[in-house]
């Protein structure tokens, strides 16, 4: 039996913080929700690490939005649906592309400095976009947005921030979400955050793989705790790999933004050939699943040599001005991108599936909302269009905030937050090298649940995960142990969905079923039961 909660607890005996709303996660989605809701209600923002240690901070390329005179939300919708390979929720995409320009306007009013060319905002192009529509701030767009939102939260002093507080589980009472159970890392104490609404914005699960652009915090915690609480997880088989992460040992892998290819960089194989020409009409700017798979083939043919990005024909001044972060990072690593080829490999980049929500971010658990990478709103379908994710966080967090403010304003006294809740279960203590186990899991997922999948490989991965069931039942005390339990839980769901989907679609590629099938224009969902096993 898999426990409903990661730890045993007695709510009566734990320290409590009571606010109107708790937001879990401090990337663009969490900060946007927190700032909006705090205009009317008390908000506690709980985050696992430092405020800025989020996937948003590392986002380079930018935010896709239809703002140019040649563009329109309709064209943005068309490109998003095309990338999503038949599985996008059209209504959700409509909300994304229609609300986008207004949300970007708000970000600019808060002080976000996007790049301008004279009196026009600078727009770049990335894979799958039919024209230039990516707003950017050099090649550190995510950190510019994150810094703006953090500055705003500090200036307004309206959001109570709890850093280094790890959310263990969503508390439910009579089927309603009443708060979250946390581990306060510095003190090692359990803390209950009680609230009338919880907004989950806890990011993705890129750390399931050995090579990822995601920071170490991206361990799927939000998905795992929502799952244990009874929310639906959907589309978990769709893991997006970014083709061009710098081929070096650091983790997270340093991303070389797709915008570099948008500005003209080529991809070359170990013999110096441009291999994407003739493989896809958009060549290097084909959707990233197409580029990634082609790279995997090329690397196999080249004896596992990396692939090379060639920006040497782009003027040095342009490279320095437009991509200062990449310029500096590569220089420090001995690569002069104006003269040298840049070695790159694919890396796990984005978890497309997640906690299923409606257009207002509501989950099936009353009082629980999800937004950003942790959520599955349906906008990405089977393949996320580049630079749509920051926009998704902005747009849907605003909808969530509006709904929560409306609902809380309508409540006379709000739901009663006093409840008696105790959870006890026999849990073995196990002696485990957690770090080694995490690396083992990442290797397993990379080898058998990565870019190219097969029935045999997936069945093997699932059987290996099943053997780790005892870890899910064990009692850990450290954050690393809880992360491992969450990662095992989510890895099992990704592998099971990937095995079930007997076709190739979007980012999910099965070498034994290499074509899409009309039978599979559908979504796979997971519901937790305490009888579930990891695999």
Binding site for ligand SIN (CB under 6 A): 60-61, 257-259, 349, 386-387, 389
Run of H or E residues at 353: none
| 230 vs 252 by CB, closer to ligand SIN | 252
| 3 vs 262 by CB, closer to ligand SIN | 262
For 83-116, letters b (16+ CB in 10 Å) and e give: bbbbbbbeebbbbbbebbeebbeebeeeebebbe
Q: In what order do the strands lie in the sheet with 21-24?
A: 159-162, 43-46, 21-24, 197-200, 368-370
| 387 vs 486 by CB, closer to ligand SIN | 387
| 142 vs 220 by CB, closer to ligand SIN | 142
| 32 vs 387 by CB, closer to ligand SIN | 387
Determine how β-strand 9-10 pairs with β-strand 422-423: antiparallel
* Secondary-structure percent of the chain, ordered helix, strand, coil, rounded to 5: 35, 20, 45
Determine how β-strand 176-184 pairs with β-strand 165-173: antiparallel
Q: What are phi and psi of 115, to 5 degrees?
A: -75, 140
Q: Find the shortest distance in angstroms from Cβ 391 to ligand SIN.
A: 9
Taking the C-alpha atoms of residue 192 and residue 347, their distance in angstroms, rounded to an integer, is 36
**DSSP labels, 59-73:** --S-EE---STT--H
Name the closest residue to ligand SIN (Cβ).
61
| 299 vs 386 by CB, closer to ligand SIN | 386
- Contacts (Cβ under 8 Å, ≥6 apart) of 484: 434, 437, 438, 441, 471, 476
Q: Find the shortest distance in angstroms from Cβ 63 to ligand SIN.
A: 9
Which residues are annotated as catalytic? 288
Q: Find the shortest distance in angstroms from Cβ 258 to ligand SIN.
A: 3
Q: Find the shortest distance in angstroms from Cβ 526 to ligand SIN.
A: 25
Q: Find the shortest distance in angstroms from Cβ 166 to ligand SIN.
A: 26
Of 306, 102, 350, which is closest to residue 218 (Cα–Cα)? 350
Q: Find the shortest distance in angstroms from Cβ 300 to ligand SIN.
A: 24
The token pair at 249 is 């040992």
Taking the C-alpha atoms of residue 522 and residue 501, their distance in angstroms, rounded to an integer, is 9
């Amino acid at each position: 039996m898999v426990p409903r909660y990661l730890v045993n607890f007695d709510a009566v005996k734990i320290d409590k913080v009571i606010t109107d709303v708790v937001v879990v996660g401090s990337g663009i989605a969490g900060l946007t929700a927190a700032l909006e809701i705090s205009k009317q209600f008390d908000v506690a923002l709980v985050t696992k690490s430092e405020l800025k240690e989020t996937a948003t901070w590392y986002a380079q390329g930018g935010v896709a939005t239809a703002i140019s005179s040649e563009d329109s939300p309709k064209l943005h919708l068309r490109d998003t649906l095309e990338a999503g390979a038949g599985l996008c929720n059209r209504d959700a995409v409509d909300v994304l592309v229609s609300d986008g320009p207004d949300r970007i306007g708000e970000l600019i009013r808060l002080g976000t400095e996007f790049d301008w060319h004279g009196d026009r905002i600078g727009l770049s192009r990335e894979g799958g976009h039919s024209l230039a529509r990516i707003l950017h701030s050099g090649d550190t767009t995510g950190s510019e947005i994150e810094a703006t939102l953090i500055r705003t939260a500090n200036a307004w002093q309206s959001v109570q921030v709890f850093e280094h507080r790890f959310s263990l589980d969503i508390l439910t009472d009579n089927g309603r979400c009443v708060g979250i159970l946390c581990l306060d890392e510095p003190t090692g104490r359990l803390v209950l955050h009680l609230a009338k609404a919880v907004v989950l914005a806890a990011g993705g699960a890129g750390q399931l793989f050995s090579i990822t652009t995601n920071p170490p915090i991206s361990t799927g915690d939000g998905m795992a705790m929502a799952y244990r609480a009874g929310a639906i997880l959907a589309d978990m088989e769709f893991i997006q790999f970014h083709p061009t992460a710098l081929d070096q040992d650091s983790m997270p892998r340093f991303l070389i933004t797709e915008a570099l290819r948008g500005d003209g960089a080529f991809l070359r194989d170990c013999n110096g050939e441009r291999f994407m020409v003739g493989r896809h009409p958009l060549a290097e700017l084909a959707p990233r699943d197409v580029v990634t798979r082609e790279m995997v083939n090329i690397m196999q043919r080249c004896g596992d040599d990396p692939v090379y990005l060639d920006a040497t024909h782009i003027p040095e001044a342009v490279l320095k001005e437009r991509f200062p972060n990449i310029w500096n990072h590569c220089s420090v690593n001995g690569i002069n991108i104006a003269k040298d080829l840049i070695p790159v490999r694919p890396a796990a980049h984005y978890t497309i599936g997640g906690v299923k929500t409606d257009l207002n971010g509501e989950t099936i658990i009353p009082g629980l909302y999800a937004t950003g990478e942790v959520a599955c709103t349906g906008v990405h379908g089977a393949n996320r269009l580049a630079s749509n994710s920051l926009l998704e966080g902005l747009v849907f967090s605003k909808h969530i905030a509006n709904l929560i403010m409306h609902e809380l304003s309508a409540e006379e006294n709000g739901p009663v937050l006093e409840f008696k809740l105790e959870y006890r279960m026999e849990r073995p203590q196990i002696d485990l090298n957690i770090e080694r186990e995490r690396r083992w899991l990442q290797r397993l997922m990379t080898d058998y649940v990565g870019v190219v999948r097969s029935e045999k490989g997936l069945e093997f991965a699932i059987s290996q995960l099943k053997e780790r069931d005892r870890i899910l039942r064990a009692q850990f005390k450290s954050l690393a142990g809880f992360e491992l339990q969450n990662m095992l839980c989510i890895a099992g769901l990704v592998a099971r969905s990937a095995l079930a989907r007997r076709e190739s679609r979007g980012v999910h590629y099965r070498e034994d079923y290499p074509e899409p099938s009309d039978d599979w224009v559908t979504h796979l969902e997971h519901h937790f039961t305490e009888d579930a096993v990891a695999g």
